[in-house]
Amino acid sequence: AAMRSRAEVDATLQTAKLNPAELLPAVHCLSFGPQAGGGECCLLQLEPGLCAELEAGRSLVIRGEKDEQAVLCSKDKTYDMKIADTSNMLLFMPGCKTPEELNADPAFCNIFHSQIAGFSNNYWELRRCRPKLKKLRKLLMEDPYEGPDSQNDQNLTFSKYTTEDLLSLIQASEEEILHQLQVIDACKIEGYWRILEFDYEMKLLNHVTQLIDSESWPLSKVPLCACLEELGSLEPKEMIEHILLSYGRKYVDDAGEVYFEMNEDKICRAIAQMLLQNAVKFNLSEFEEVWQQSVPEGMKTRLDQLQGLALVDKSSRPETIFLLKVEDLPEDNQERFNSLFGIREKWTEVDITPYIKDLCAEKQTVGALLTKYARSSMLNGVKVYNSRRPIS
Amino acid sequence: LSRSGGTGTLAQWVLVELQGEVEPRESGSLAGSLLGDLHYTCEGVPVLIVGHHILYGKVVQLEKPFAVLVKQGGAPQPGPGGPHGHYTVTALIKTKLLFKTRPKPIITHVPKKV
């Protein structure tokens, strides 16, 4: 289209009965650019902090496979994406000056021929969400590491994942993924992230606890060097160090020696899992006895060490205990509650908390979740929660 | 899988928000066609003349800025799950010109010849 001239602009002002004296001298003649109708551009509304990240040159990534709801990830946060419709028309204008900018420079008294780059009546809205990390464990469990002697490891690499692989498959930010890898005690073997197969992990742990026992080391001061020396002939040194890191806290003393303070709760918990996974359920008192006898000398077992791992049934006679791992339950809030109420009709807050606290959003409490997804009632003077829906 | 990154400083664009829909005068594409003249009063009030209408608006600093994403190649098809494909952040928008008042029609008694 022909560009408008000053004469045409002034004529329009006159027809509109606008007084040029009341207007700034500059005018923008707006037209639609060549790409305008193409739908190539879209708008993304930025949550606090994201704008600064983009301006600092950092990237945002949209992640999600065809069957997944897309999420947006910054370096350390994950956001759900949702289309928001507006009844208005939004036009995107590059190079359009604001009154401040025009006033700042008296030289701006021209005609700006501004092209509209695109337009839309909707935009993407972001809402911070929990990173979708359940898939991470699922991927790593496809091929758990069973030790150097295992035959499996020689063959296939297609079910093994590098950091890059995980970044492209998991709907979470890089920092959230790396943090979760640490939480689940994954380790890097030959460039691939691996989870240890449980029996192998217990085998390694057993080597260490037996050595601690035979050397009479205090549980808070287990020397790395000696462990590697004594156990290095039995297992790869990286694996020995890995098990110490998984079940202990690393520190360096004044002399520069590396020690581990063993995590009593975590060790007791692992041994409980080893015992519980062998049957559907156990007589509670029998289990507690065997469990205490199975843990290393000097460690004390307590039922609260098993939160999110096992559930006690106080209504059965005798009381029983069975394995119920929170990581085996659904990730979606409603599905998680459905699953829990399917296992047990009524829950006390104390019992259900370990199985729902990972669902809490940034500032959400367990109480808020219960209010939303459950209904409360009193049972024998105790407050219990059950499903909002009728159980079929 | 999509990625957005900035090379150098990001351009700052402005959003113009209008009520209703924008349609081409003749049936045809919008590309290249004129929308109107944008003036500001001395007090900084934006005035948009579109066809036979005057629209008065205001300059709004956006509480939540926008990023403009441009799709790189391929069909621009946002699927049910969300945007898929390769995107780049082309610009940031921190300011919008909001035209919400009903347009005032321009009443002409006699067409003026220029």
Quick one: A191 and A207 in the same domain?
no
pLDDT in tens, A270-300: 999 999 998 899 999 999 999 999 999 899 9
- Residue A187 in contact with residue A87, Cβ under 8 Å? no
Out of A244, A262, A280, a domain closes at: A262
Name the more confident of A391 and A113: A113
Q: For residue A24, which of A103, A93, A112, A101 has the smallest C-alpha distance?
A: A103
Spans of all domains in chain B: 11-22+33-73+80-101
Q: pLDDT over 90 for what percent of chain B?
A: 28
pLDDT in tens, A328-343: 999 999 999 999 999 9
Helix (H, G, I), strand (E, B) or coil at A275: helix
Quick one: A117 and A13 in the same domain?
yes
> Domain tally for chain A?
3
Q: Å from B60 to nearest chain A CA?
A: 10
CATH 2.60.40 for domain B11-22+33-73+80-101: yes
Quick one: A26 and A113 in the same domain?
yes
In a domain, A30, yes or no: yes
Residue B43 and residue A246: Cα distance in Å, rounded?
66
Quick one: A176 and A232 in the same domain?
no
Q: A95: which chain B residues are within 8 Å (Cβ-Cβ)?
A: 13
In a domain, A295, yes or no: no
Quick one: A17 and A117 in the same domain?
yes
- pLDDT(A390) > 90: no
Residue A367 and residue A349: Cα distance in Å, rounded?
9
Chain B contact probe: residue of A10, A22, A23, A28 with most B CBs at under 10 A? A28
Looking at this protein, which amino acid is placed at residue B103? Answer: P
- pLDDT(A225) > 70: yes
In a domain, A41, yes or no: yes
pLDDT at A107: 67
Which range (A170-179, A221-230, B21-30, B71-80) has the least confidence?
B71-80
Q: How many CA atoms lie within 13 A of A17 on its CB side?
A: 10
Q: B81: which chain A residues are within 8 Å (Cβ-Cβ)?
A: 64, 66-70
Token pair 């920092």 is found at A175
In a domain, A379, yes or no: no
Helix (H, G, I), strand (E, B) or coil at A383: strand
Residue A36 and residue A119: Cα distance in Å, rounded?
7
Which residues, in sequence order, are CB contacts of A2 under 8 Å at separation 6+? Answer: none
Virtual torsion, Cα B70, B71, B77, B79, nearest 10 deg: -90
pLDDT in tens, B3-50: 455 555 788 999 999 887 666 555 556 677 888 899 999 888 999 998
- pLDDT(B82) > 60: no
Alpha-carbon dihedral sign for residues A10, A13, A18, A22: negative
Q: B91: which chain A residues are within 8 Å (Cβ-Cβ)?
A: 92, 94
**CATH number of the domain encompassing residue A228:** 1.10.10
- pLDDT(A347) > 90: yes
Between CA A301 and CA A312, with CA A306 as vertex, the angle to 5 degrees is 100
Residue A50 and residue B65: Cα distance in Å, rounded?
9
Q: Domain span at residue A187?
A: 133-148+160-195
Tell me the CA distances in angstroms from A310 to A197, A276, A337, one per residue in order: 20, 8, 17
Name the more confident of A60 and A334: A334
pLDDT in tens, A100-148: 888 777 666 688 888 888 888 899 999 999 999 999 999 999 999 998 8
